[in-house]
Amino acid sequence: MALASTVHTLTGSATTYSNIISGNPQFSKGSLENAEKLFVEETYDNLGVKMYMEPDCIILTDDPNSNNQAKELLHATANVDTSNSGTFNAYSNKYKVVSVPRIATTAS
């Protein structure tokens, strides 16, 4: 079974689910928000009943650009002397970044 797929099947239901963001975008704030939405909309038990789970990891390959972007987003702070001084980072301490250098990149 593929780790990531757009058509995962459930053992007790005809329902399928996806854990791949449409278009396979590069990591960004927007793609993380799409992943969060996908997680809410595509989390089922084996009978096809929606369930609640709270993600705590961002799993990435060993691509340094994606890893750096994820870490920048999670640890961003605004300088108190700038116009964004009151900005709250909603992602701070929400996720940990896990880099998997030998992750399979084919569907099988």
pLDDT, tens digit (0-9, with 9 covering 90-100), for 23-80? 888 899 899 999 999 989 989 999 999 998 888 999 888 889 999 999 988 888 776 6
pLDDT higher than 80, residue 106: no
What 3-state DSSP class applies to 81? coil
Query: To 5 degrees, how large is the angle CA 31–CA 23–CA 103?
Result: 80
57 and 32 Cβ atoms separated by less than 8 Å? no
The model's pTM: 0.77
DSSP 8-state secondary structure symbol assigned to residue 25: P
- Give alpha helix (H) positions in the chain: 29-41, 64-75
pLDDT, tens digit (0-9, with 9 covering 90-100), for 64-75? 999 999 998 888
Q: How far apart are CA 83 and CA 41, in angstroms?
A: 36
What is the amino acid identity at position 77?
A: T
